[in-house]
């Protein structure tokens, strides 16, 4: 399974470069990012492809609530905030994307 995941991630990095003319980071989260062996394999794939591996600390990878909170902290650190009068949407269609990459 680790070989398949590593192969697919390497292909994804190559495809991203073909489509966008640059290397993007390899981002991993959730339970996969908590697995030390898989994390090391993906770090090697990213390094071999000239990309950075971005992953939350392993202690946060097994709890979805912690992952969401961590994402919020990173957004706040980046100066990204939202007004409190937004309307939450539990099923946000992927087709509704703005040019900046965020939903409308």
pLDDT tens track for 25-79 = 999 988 888 899 999 999 999 999 999 999 988 888 877 777 788 888 999 999 9
Other beta carbons less than 10 A from residue 17's beta carbon: 15
Rounded mean pLDDT, 89-96: 73
Contact 60/70 with Cβ under 8 angstroms? yes
Q: Which two tokens stand for residue 65?
A: 């609530």
Give pTM, 2 decimals: 0.61
């Amino acid at each position: 399974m680790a070989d398949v995941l590593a192969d697919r991630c390497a292909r994804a990095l190559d495809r991203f470069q073909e489509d966008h003319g640059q290397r993007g980071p390899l981002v991993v989260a959730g339970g996969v990012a908590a697995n030390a062996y898989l994390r090391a394999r993906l770090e090697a794939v990213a390094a071999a492809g000239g990309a950075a591996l971005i992953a939350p600390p392993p202690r946060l990878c097994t709890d979805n609530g912690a992952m969401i909170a961590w994402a919020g902290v990173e957004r706040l650190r980046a100066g990204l905030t939202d007004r409190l009068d937004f309307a939450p949407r539990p099923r946000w269609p992927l087709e509704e994307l703005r040019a900046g990459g965020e939903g409308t």
